[in-house]
Amino acid sequence: MESAAANSGSPVAQRLASFIALAVLLVVIAAGFAYRLSHETALAELEARGAGRIGYHAGEMAGAIEKFEYLPYLLGLETSLTDLLYSPTKAAHVEAANRYLAFAQSRAGIAAAYLMDTGGTTLAASNWERPTSFVGRNYDFRPYFQEALGGRTGRFYGVGATTGEPGAFIAAPISAGDDVI
């Protein structure tokens, strides 16, 4: 009788070991392909769901912007605001504009309303009494301000430079004749 160690070197044993190694290799390759396929399928599903959510939220945001797009123009008709633009250092005009903007903000249900001069400096704001007031801050770098300064409605979605909170910003020019004031 031959021992098991002696049999391990036989051609049949070697072929069996090669066959088992090849089978294990094929199983590993098949598992790799299956993993890759399932991973790509899962990523495609996540991408499709994400695109759907983005589309939904973009539609919601567009609806919100459309809902309030008239508001800056309506606010611009208020005489306390135009008075302040013509006399920015007059305390009575500052107080009247701040109070009007606070009233308008609370009635419209918006986060804030504010008035800027042509240099981008905020002259009055609905939050004038808060530590995070916009009064005195300059937003000339914001796209919505640049659009309004050019005589057009400015729309922008981004993170607030003062509050750090994301939101939609809408701005409209206040004009005197052909000039944006």
Cross-strand bridge partners of residue 168: 157
Q: Over 80: is that where the pLDDT of 140 sits?
A: yes
DSSP SS3 for 132: coil
Residue among 166, 169, 140 nearest 154 (CA):
169
Q: Where on the phi/psi map is residue 89: left (φ > 0), alpha (ψ -120 to 50), or beta?
A: alpha
pLDDT average, residue stretch 146-170: 91
Give the Cβ contact number of residue 128 at 10 Å: 20
- The per-residue pLDDT for range 37-77, each reduced to its tens digit, is 999 999 989 888 888 888 877 777 777 778 888 899 999 99
Report in angstroms the alpha-carbon separations of 41 from 9, 32, 142. Answer: 46, 14, 41
If one counts every other C-beta atom within 10 angstroms of the C-beta of residue 97, the result is 27
On the question of pLDDT at 100 being above 70, the answer is yes
Predicted pLDDT at 53? 84
Q: Which residue has the higher pLDDT, 113 or 47?
A: 113
Q: What number of other Cβ atoms are within 10 A of residue 71's Cβ?
A: 16
Cβ count within 10 A of residue 101: 24
Average pLDDT of span 81-90: 96
pLDDT of res. 57: 76
**Cα gap 94→83, rounded to integer Å:** 9
